[in-house]
Chain A
Amino acid sequence: MSMSRRSFIKRAAFSGMAVTAVLSGADVAAASINSGNEFASIINLTKCDGCKNFGTPSCVAACRSKNQNRFPQAQKPIGDYWPQTKHEDWSEKQELSNRLTPYNWTYVQHLQVEHEGQEYEIHVPRRCLHCDNPPCASLCPFGVNEKMPEGPVLINPNGCFGGAKCRDVCPWEIPQRQGGVGLYLQVAPKYAGGGVMYKCDMCYDLIQKGQQPACVSACPNNALIFGLKGDMHDYARQWAQENSGYLYGLEEHGGTSTIYLSAVPFEAIHDAILNQEIDGKPGKPAMPVGVGNILDEPAGMAQGFLIAPVAGLLGAGLSVYKIMTGADNDENNEA
């Protein structure tokens, strides 16, 4: 991409006008994907109204329609996850669009948020944020969950065993499990595995073709913006500065490919979600501010892997030296 075009994009973005028109230019994405660039998206909560005038929010409807051929076809009956007496099955509730399920990869939280004595009506589109250092991918026991160079984090439905570890290590518990489908059925379905995990894949097929994710294209309010990650970061920071606004997703979890913009602090949004949304079942994520990454501490420990072999080498040298010089009395043929 030429500098002039990049600066043009920035100017257009900051002017607050025509931003979607510019960034939706397929050639922008196509040009950058070839050079291995990373993408990100912006979710502007000051623009999202949850599509109050439509039945289902446009982004949710677009996501469902685009991905319907990839939704799980569960084999019935679905057995319990022995020795537990439960299993996860959303196949009879495929129409649900008010939470994340294996059949609904994005939804909009409708919140009444109180901030400085004022009530705000806030709509928060929720889906995978596509983290920079995603534990769901790194810690997948089967290595079938991967962070792509372009940004999306993808679960391979053919290799997924449905242990739901990815959901447990995700601070937003985004991936959702459907039982009765996937590889575990071929192995020992009663004793190991539990289905396949499903979540947003940033419409990887579309961005590879130089197009935008379905939710972004469908948004009637330009609340969703998609583009090069660096541009999106610049846009978000500038927006926060100019609007005295708040950002979420830039620092959280060590950085993500999704940045929320809001006029009210995310602490207040998080509290509102906890009070209004959470019902004890998976698929309704909160927004903990500054949430850490389970991989942060292990990263700090990694230098131990450099020290360990050096210590082993020195120890062996010392031991053998003692034996050779006779300082070690542990004689081999002492009878």
Chain B
Amino acid sequence: MMKIMRHRWQIRFVHWVTALSIFILFFSGFGQMPVYKRYFVDQMPGLSWSSDYAITLHLHYYGAMILIFISVYYLFYLFLSKETDVLPKKGDVKESLLILLSLLGLAEEPENDKYLAEQRMAFAVTAVSILGLIITGLIKVLKNLPDTSIPLSLSFWATQIHNILTVILLISVVIHLLAFLIKDNRPLFSSMFTGRISLDYAKHRHSLWINRIEARNSKDKHIH
């Protein structure tokens, strides 16, 4: 079966490091809410440390450093490589609705580029949430330092926004995972490990993307 490269190793690296850091941050962040003791999470084998705020706070800091590293990496990667397929385009809201309708059998799925319109929208929501979480998180780090004084209203709102964005990010991660309930999406799963998807699948589901590549290849041939 012919395969085509969909995600360079850099993108796979960004994806999995982001996933790892967000998992650490969710777990340690919810540990900062006083819930693990109450809900006996710390009674589970190997998790006795989970209700220790000092440990979960450390973990949260390490997770945040990893997330900041990979976010900056990705931001500059996008900027320098100009691989902007994942960024939202004009008309994506309307096209996302069309895709949703097509899932229900009420419309024809539009022709897709490398990413579906709703993937680009979901990316934007996730990216903005992560950016907001990083900014508000850094304000909270600053507040935790001795001998620093930041305005009370700033620390109050940083905390509220951090909590709200956590819920938004959690919902988007859940939706991201639920997307694999849809059969058409499943061939994409292995591409986040191997980087490749079948050419037939790509032609069928991402025709605009394949057309672009073919156009570029034939242009290259003409030049050479």
Compute how far the CA of A254 lies from the CA of B145 in the bound complex, rounded to whole angstroms: 11
Sample of 4 more A-B contacts, CB < 8 Å, known A81-B38, A305-B141, A316-B80: A84-B38, A165-B53, A317-B80, A333-B213
Q: Are the C-beta atoms of B146 and A139 separated by less than 8 Å?
A: no
Q: Are the C-beta atoms of B32 and A141 separated by less than 8 Å?
A: yes
In chain A, positions 283-335 with a C-beta closer than 8 Å to chain B are: 293-299, 301-302, 304-305, 307-309, 311-313, 315-317, 319-320, 323, 328, 330-335
Q: Are the C-beta atoms of A334 and B54 separated by less than 8 Å?
A: no
Q: Are the C-beta atoms of A294 and B141 separated by less than 8 Å?
A: no
Given contacts A143-B159, A165-B34, contact A83 B65 (CB under 8 A): no
Q: How far is the CB of B31 from chain A (nearest CB, A)?
A: 10
Number of interface residues, chain B, beta carbon within 8 A:
57
Compute how far the CA of A316 lies from the CA of B217 in the bound complex, rounded to whole angstroms: 27
Q: How far is the CB of A329 from chain B (nearest CB, A)?
A: 10
With a cutoff of 8 Å between Cβ atoms, the chain A residues found around residue B3 in the complex are 335
Q: Are the C-beta atoms of B145 and A168 separated by less than 8 Å?
A: no
With a cutoff of 8 Å between Cβ atoms, the chain A residues found around residue B110 in the complex are none
Q: Are the C-beta atoms of A308 and B34 separated by less than 8 Å?
A: no
> For the complex, is B74 an interface residue (Cβ under 8 Å from A)?
yes
Compute how far the CA of A133 lies from the CA of B39 in the bound complex, rounded to whole angstroms: 29
Contact for B76 among A83, A84, A317, A323, CB less than 8 A: A317
Q: C-beta contact mask, A114-148 vs B, less than 8 Å → 1, else 0? A: 00000000000000000011010011111110101
Contact for A298 among B38, B57, B160, B213, CB less than 8 A: B57
Q: Are the C-beta atoms of B158 and A143 separated by less than 8 Å?
A: yes
Q: Are the C-beta atoms of A330 and B64 separated by less than 8 Å?
A: no
Compute how far the CA of A330 lies from the CA of B196 in the bound complex, rounded to whole angstroms: 10
Name the CB-closest residue of A to B11.
Answer: A330
Q: Are the C-beta atoms of A313 and B76 separated by less than 8 Å?
A: yes
Compute how far the CA of A84 lies from the CA of B61 in the bound complex, rounded to whole angstroms: 30
Q: Are the C-beta atoms of A305 and B32 separated by less than 8 Å?
A: no
Q: Are the C-beta atoms of B141 and A313 separated by less than 8 Å?
A: no
Name the CB-closest residue of A to B158.
Answer: A143
Q: Are the C-beta atoms of B58 and A146 separated by less than 8 Å?
A: no
Q: Are the C-beta atoms of B77 and A319 separated by less than 8 Å?
A: yes
Q: Are the C-beta atoms of A149 and B149 separated by less than 8 Å?
A: yes
Given contacts A163-B33, A295-B146, contact A142 B159 (CB under 8 A): yes
